[in-house]
Structure 1
Amino acid sequence: MAETREIESFLTLAGELHFGRTAERLRVSTAQVSQTIRKLERRVGAPLFTRTSRRVELTPVGRQLLADLGPAWAAVSSALARAVEAGRGVTGTLRVAFGDAAGGQLLAGVAELFRRRAPGCEVEFREVRPAEVLPWLREGEVDVVLAGLPLDGPGLVTGPVLVRERRFLAMAATHPFARRDTVPVAELERVTVLRCALPDPWLDEHAPTAVTRPRAGLQELLTLAGAGEGVLPVGAHLRRYYPRPDVAYVPLSDAPRLEWGLVWREGAATARVQAFAEAAAELVREPA
């Protein structure tokens, strides 16, 4: 049976595909990483990586081992982390990300309730741009993100829906749509639709030619809409938190509600994350 050090080295190298970076992450020498991988390959009976002077790649056997081993190892690591935290209580630091002012305000309320229940745990807030949401989750930059749902992806877990709101279009105040009371979804085919980099199945279906601005933040997208570069589908809360003289907000008349919830990595479902998600669900259930 493979040793823990061999499994950890294999999974880290499979992610980095670079012996030097793997050694840095594991805080060992490059030679130690090579020795550990060779030992595991002898145990398996086949090469797991192809190595040249320029690149490192997984072999077919290595790819299969990664597919089989990765989820199981994440589950084991998560179980151990939860056991440790259960023994210590909910302590440490929870890193929580939000994308706009409304999200930040909601999470601040959740954090207040969470801290009352877990005074030994700190909450660290981070503002995240749309293009950074998935990388930050996957790379462990943050533990939890408040995001529009669904936010699907390998190894991601979604908590309960916290907010449902009407969908609006943000557009230039001089846009023809700005004079309407509502805009039917079918009208999206007639105009340029702006979108951020995050997945949005509903938008993919109703505006398949939408122009994606991969690195744009919310204020940049609103500026583009205000300048007449296109219309921007948004949630109703932006009318209150981001009023601008150059931007009009008009509801989409036949669109489903936009949903928001907490998302975290499957392997990072620690006691802190679970307790924060429970506090969020309880907060939104409380009467206003």
Structure 2
Amino acid sequence: MLERHELEAFLVLAEELHFGHTAERLHVSTARVSQTIRKLERRVGVPLFNRTSRRVELSPVGRQLYEEVRPAWTRIGAALERAIDTGRGVTGTLRVAFTGAAAGQLLVGATEVFRQRQPGCDVQIREAQIGEVLPWLRDGEVEIVLANLMHAPGIIIGPVLAREARMLAVPSGHPFARRTSVSVEDLARVKVLQLPVTMPESLRADRTPRQTPGGRPIESGPSATTFQEMLTLIGAGQGVFPVGAHARRYYARPDVAYIPFSDAPPLEWGLMWRADGATARVRAFSQAAWCTVIPEASHRRTAERSLSGA
């Protein structure tokens, strides 16, 4: 088993390819680095570096070792950092993502409250497309996301921060555009655009069902990977799609009309994070977001807030 100081010396030297620079980064003497590497090479049985008077290079074995060890060492360091953050409290940088303009506004409010409460923690905000939410969470691109709630293995769903009425986005020239409301059963009369197959089945079944509550089949239309692409397909007459009421305000287009559903349940928005990523700063941000939509004096009441701006 390799010792920690041996791994550190090997990895830094593999990146610096210079004994002096490696010693500076490790805060040890050049002789100590050289001694550690020679000891490690004796244990491995072959040279890990090719040395000349002018340059240092990784040997083939050394390069293979570096490529296999570096990712694992990075993961160990990240895990240790998360443990330290949990133990010390809310520090470091929280990476947060959102989907859609309305969620972005809600996220800004939550971030302001969080920064007031936790001045020692920075927040980096990114916009995600709907199909990027789960991959970004699982790959560690971001730690927490504000989006339409979706159930998936290994993902924690926080409190519902907002609810909004559902509407059907249709081409502006469609007969439905002249109506004051539509029913879920009306979906059997149109072609419904689809979410990417990479999305959780629970979300796809909710937004793009295969049949109406009465059992009538719903025709599937093309798939779209972004919301703007979805609206463009709708404007081109290729189908319709259920959206939240906020779309009427934030995504007004001359080629798309938004018609309220008379019998569909509201859409729910909230925070999501990885089950193994519930750090102190993630929990603190969730609490700050909750306080953004619910006054301190009424935390125990149910939150029902519209993203439509009405």
TM > 0.5: yes
What SS is found at the alignment partner of 2:169?
strand
Displacement of 1:120 in angstroms is 1.0
Unpaired stretches in structure 1, ≥5 consecutive residues: 6-18, 29-76
- 1:142 and 2:139 correspond: no
Displacement of 1:24 in angstroms is 3.8
Displacement of 1:99 in angstroms is 1.2
What SS is found at the alignment partner of 2:180?
coil
* Alignment correspondent of 2:189: 190
1:6-17 matches, within 5 Å, as none
Q: Where do 4+ consecutive residues of structure 1 move more than 6 Å?
A: none
**8 Å CA contact 1:92, 1:122 repeated in 2:** yes
* Alignment correspondent of 2:29: none
Displacement of 1:146 in angstroms is 1.1
Unpaired stretches in structure 2, ≥5 consecutive residues: 5-64, 212-217, 299-304, 306-310
Q: Which amino acid aligns with 1:210?
A: S
Q: Deviations over 1:161-199 (max 9, x none)?
A: 001110001111101100000010001111111132333
Percent pairwise identity = 54
Q: Deviations over 1:39-80 (max 9, x none)?
A: xxxxxxxxxxxxxxxxxxxxxxxxxxxxxxxxxxxxxx98x7
* Alignment correspondent of 1:23: 69
* Alignment correspondent of 2:178: 179
- 1:257 and 2:266 correspond: yes
1:71-220 matches, within 5 Å, as 84-149=84-149, 151-197=150-196, 198-199=199-200, 200=203, 201-205=205-209, 207=211, 209-211=219-221, 213=223, 216-220=225-229
**8 Å CA contact 2:89, 2:281 repeated in 1:** no
RMSD, aligned α-carbons: 3.0
- The aligned length equals 226
What SS is found at the alignment partner of 2:191?
coil
Displacement of 1:210 in angstroms is 3.3
Displacement of 1:104 in angstroms is 0.7
Partners in 2 of 1:264 and 1:228 — Cα distance? Answer: 36
Q: Residues 22 and 171 (structure 1 numbering): CA distance in 2 closer, same or farther, change over 3 Å?
A: farther
Partners in 2 of 1:233 and 1:21 — Cα distance? Answer: 47
**Greater radius of gyration (CA):** 2
* Alignment correspondent of 1:69: none
Q: Which amino acid aligns with 2:207?
A: L
Q: Residues 192 and 205 (structure 1 numbering): CA distance in 2 closer, same or farther, change over 3 Å?
A: closer
Displacement of 1:23 in angstroms is 3.4
Q: Residues 165 and 206 (structure 1 numbering): CA distance in 2 closer, same or farther, change over 3 Å?
A: farther
TM-score normalized by the length of structure 1? 0.70
TM-score normalized by the length of structure 2? 0.66
**8 Å CA contact 2:91, 2:120 repeated in 1:** yes
Displacement of 1:25 in angstroms is 1.0
